[in-house]
Amino acid sequence: MAVHRIVVDVMLKPEILDPQGQAVANALPNLGYAPPVDLRIGRHVELALEAPDADAALEQATKIADTLLANPVIEDYAVRLA
Amino acid sequence: MAVHRIVVDVMLKPEILDPQGQAVANALPNLGYAPPVDLRIGRHVELALEAPDADAALEQATKIADTLLANPVIEDYAVRLA
């Protein structure tokens, strides 16, 4: 059993409004930056899991993402080795 | 001026406590998962910026990350092309 480091990125689905990202996008011109074409904010989760191999760790992380880290109704997630 | 897609990942510095990650880590055994070796939660920002080239877009995103997306006192950030 080795420790595998995995990253899960969780984002609101494209059709779901992102008020946090919109607030940051609206703040940029006030700080002297050009307005961004797009800006969305999600969660970045760094996990270290004990598993026999990388595939098993990815499978476990995907289950965790689906049940606990993301709300699959409104969010998409991507799981990858760090 | 082309549109460049950039990702900024913001994480609390390793020496800063992460109560949100700790709460998720503590919840996993209750859901039947092995306790994770480590679990930390940060922000994942997807930006689309107009810039003459990728280097200029990365430079602009780094300034935005430093002034608005991250608090450099307690957070680290990583900027990369999407």
All domains of chain B in start order, with CATH? 2-81 (3.30.1280.10)
**Amino acid residing at A74:** I
Contact B43, B10 (CB under 8 A): yes
pTM higher than the cut 0.95: no
Q: Chain A interface, mutation test: which of B9, B16, B49, most A Cβ atoms within 10 Å? A: B49
Minimal Cα distance from A32: which residue of B? B64
Nearest to A4 by CA among A43, A44, A58, A45: A58
* Torsions phi, psi for A35 (to 5 deg): -65, 135
Task: For this complex, say whether ipTM is above 0.95.
Answer: no
Which residue in this structure is represented by tokens 């598993």? Answer: A51
Contact B69, B18 (CB under 8 A): no
Window 21-60 of A, Cβ < 8 Å to B: 21, 24, 27-28, 31, 33-34, 36-50, 60
Tokens (6 digits) for B27: 């919840």
Nearest to B77 by CA among B55, B53, B47: B47
Each residue's pLDDT, cut to its tens digit, for chain A (82 residues) gives: 899 999 999 999 999 999 999 999 999 999 999 999 999 999 999 999 999 999 999 999 999 999 999 999 999 999 999 9
